[in-house]
């Protein structure tokens, strides 16, 4: 009970100072590159003073690494059990769709992480390796989901190939939307894309519409 009360109190007070700084760094670096993410600009964006940034993080390389680690879904995906019920085609399809929706929601929650990861992070080897862990964990999670759903998949479906295709779909669409290459889809339109992706691998009777 005490833990729950603490969580409620923390939520009521909003993000911590460190989280505000980390999120501000990612927003600035995603929009204008590392040069735009000066300590002065970060301080203004986060509503803190520059001394606070140096006290918490020391330098920009540490700040970038901590920012990616803080908002990366890699650990969640690596430890996650897809929990697919493969007793029927419909239950397997519903479970796979839930996995895609969850991963898409993670990407939508932190679009600045996608933009930074696809661009400026390459200039920092340690940060680039942390970023690379995200798609690796995502692909492994989708492979586990497809392996669990295997009894209800169409013949000759290769889980490794499909996982890679789905990961590419999620990443490319979210990245293209954030860069303005693709128009932003409504939730219903995007969900139809995910439904179509799942329907293509599950045996007849998947029940998705």
List, for residues 133-169, the tens digit of each pLDDT value: 999 999 999 999 999 999 999 999 999 999 999 999 9
Query: Quick one: 2-71 is in which CATH superfamily?
Result: Tetracycline Repressor, domain 2 (1.10.357.10)
User: How many CB atoms neighbour CB 29 within 10 A?
Assistant: 25
> Where, residue-wise, is CATH 1.10.357.10 in the chain?
2-71
pLDDT, one tens digit per residue, over 1-35 is 444 444 444 444 678 899 999 999 999 999 888 89
CATH 1.20.1630 fits 74-199, yes or no: no
* pTM across the whole model: 0.86
Residue 10 has a pLDDT of 43
């Amino acid at each position: 009970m005490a833990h729950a009360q603490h969580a409620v109190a923390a939520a009521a007070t909003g993000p911590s100072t460190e989280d505000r700084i980390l999120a501000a760094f990612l927003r600035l670096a995603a929009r204008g590159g590392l040069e735009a993410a000066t300590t002065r600009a970060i301080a203004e964006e986060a509503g803190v003073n520059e001394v606070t940034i140096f006290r918490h993080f020391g330098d920009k390389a540490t700040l970038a690494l901590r920012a990616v680690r803080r908002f990366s879904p890699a650990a969640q995906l690596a430890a996650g059990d897809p929990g697919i019920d493969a007793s029927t085609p419909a239950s397997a399809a519903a479970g796979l769709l839930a996995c895609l929706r969850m991963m898409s929601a993670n990407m939508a929650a932190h679009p600045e992480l996608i933009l930074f990861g696809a661009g400026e992070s390459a200039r920092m080897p340690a940060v680039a390796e942390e970023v690379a862990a995200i798609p690796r964990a995502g692909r492994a999670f989708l492979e586990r989901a497809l392996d669990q759903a295997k009894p209800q998949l169409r013949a000759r479906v290769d889980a490794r190939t499909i996982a890679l295709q789905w990961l590419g779909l999620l990443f490319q669409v979210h990245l293209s939307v954030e860069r303005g290459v693709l128009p932003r889809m409504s939730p219903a339109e995007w969900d139809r894309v995910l439904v179509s992706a799942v329907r293509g691998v599950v045996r007849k009777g998947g029940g998705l519409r």
